[in-house]
Amino acid sequence: MQTIKAAVCREFNAPLVIEEVQLADPKMGEVEVTLDAVAICHSDISYAGGAWGGNLPAVYGHEAAGVITATGEGSGDFKIGDPVVVTLIRACGSCPSCASGTPTICETPYNTAKGPLRTADGEPLDQGMACGAFAEKVVVSHRQIVKIPKTMAKDVASLLSCGVITGVGAVVNAAQLRPGQDVVVIGAGGVGLNAIQGARIAGARRIVAVDMIEDKLEVAKEFGATHGVLASLDAPWKAAYKALGGRGADAVLVTVGAIPAYEQATRYLGPGGKAIMIGMPHSGATASYEPVIMAAVGQGLIGSKMGDVVIQRDIPWMIDLYEQGRLKLDELISGRWELDQINEAIADTKTGSAKRNVILFNR
């Protein structure tokens, strides 16, 4: 076991505590990655707030990039010195879901409470989301990582681990958007902006961004939205219909976890349209629909976890898009912070104005 610094959640809805923790060496099929950057996702904040339960104490964080500094046996073709992104997608590769090409919903359980982390006193420390990247180093499955170019900045690369693949992936994998179709994206935050630029890349005809904050609608247009609609309007879907030429959307992507957004999502749809459920409400929250309407016009609800990506396929593609200037990543970073500033970075993220705040190590 080695000692590293990490931001530990010891109590839900309380500030994270920077402390020294113990990290085990990589086992069979695992690698150790020394991190350069980790982005703050709203899922981390929700977990730290107790929205979905879980074991405490815990280390969260799951959008990371760094360099491999140790490998276990059977860790594929990865080697020490490889720059990589680290994701939370710990896929076994052989269960029915993995074998059918949907590793984001791998059916093989992994007990995060028995992962590589321990407190300084040797007590169990939960590896949040099978990653635990609010720390100087992580030990993860080699199936969770993807090599990146050595020239790619780690703070930029870290965004590919969740927010980017979730938004872009939901468009191309879950919605299976075709060129010329119309899209509504509810929420213009980190994931929403990536859904917007995913729709642009996929060839959408019109892209309507919906958000509570007018300034965010202007940012959405920089990422490819053709129109912006304030969610605070009495019937925002009517404004979206007008923007779409008098009909509903072929796909509505809900990128926020707000129940009102989910309950209104189907109102934006045209005949045969699909609502893609991406944002994660708190456990126990429910939404209601009138199914006869959806059945009558062939509409559907589709859940999408992590953009339904296969990281070894989709992340290299997105890196190419970035290098070609077709995918915006640098513009997604709102602020750069140190590990000991993580609570301030989380507070800034909670305001809703930040696209992505990134914690930097070793600078």
pTM above 0.85, yes or no: yes
d(CA 108, CA 98): 9
Q: Tell me phi and psi for residue 274, to 5 degrees.
A: -125, 135
- The reply to whether 166-304 shares the fold of 2-161+328-360 is no
d(CA 43, CA 299): 28
SS3 51: coil
Amino acid 355: pLDDT: 86
Instruction: Determine the topology of domain 2-161+328-360 in CATH.
Output: Quinone Oxidoreductase; Chain A, domain 1 (3.90.180)
Transcribe 121-164 into DSSP letters. Answer: TS-B-EEGGGT--SBSEEEEEGGGEEE--TTS-HHHHHGGGTHH
Report the relative pairing of strands 2-8 and 300-303 from DSSP bridges.
Answer: unpaired
Residue spans of the domains in the chain: they are 2-161+328-360, 166-304
Which position has the token pair 């969740």? 162
Amino acid 100: pLDDT: 95
Amino acid 1: pLDDT: 86
pLDDT per residue as tens digits for the range 219-266 = 999 999 999 999 999 999 999 999 999 999 999 999 999 999 999 999
SS3 357: strand
Amino acid 310: pLDDT: 97
Report the relative pairing of strands 333-337 and 356-360 from DSSP bridges.
Answer: parallel
> Does the domain made of 166-304 have the CATH classification 3.90.180.10?
no
pLDDT per residue as tens digits for the range 45-60 = 999 999 898 899 999 9
pLDDT per residue as tens digits for the range 163-204 = 999 999 999 999 999 999 999 999 999 999 999 999 999 999
Amino acid 363: pLDDT: 65
Transcribe 203-255 into DSSP letters. Answer: T-SEEEEEES-HHHHHHHHHTT-SEEEETTSSSHHHHHHHHTTSS-EEEEEE-
- Residues of the chain predicted below pLDDT 50: none
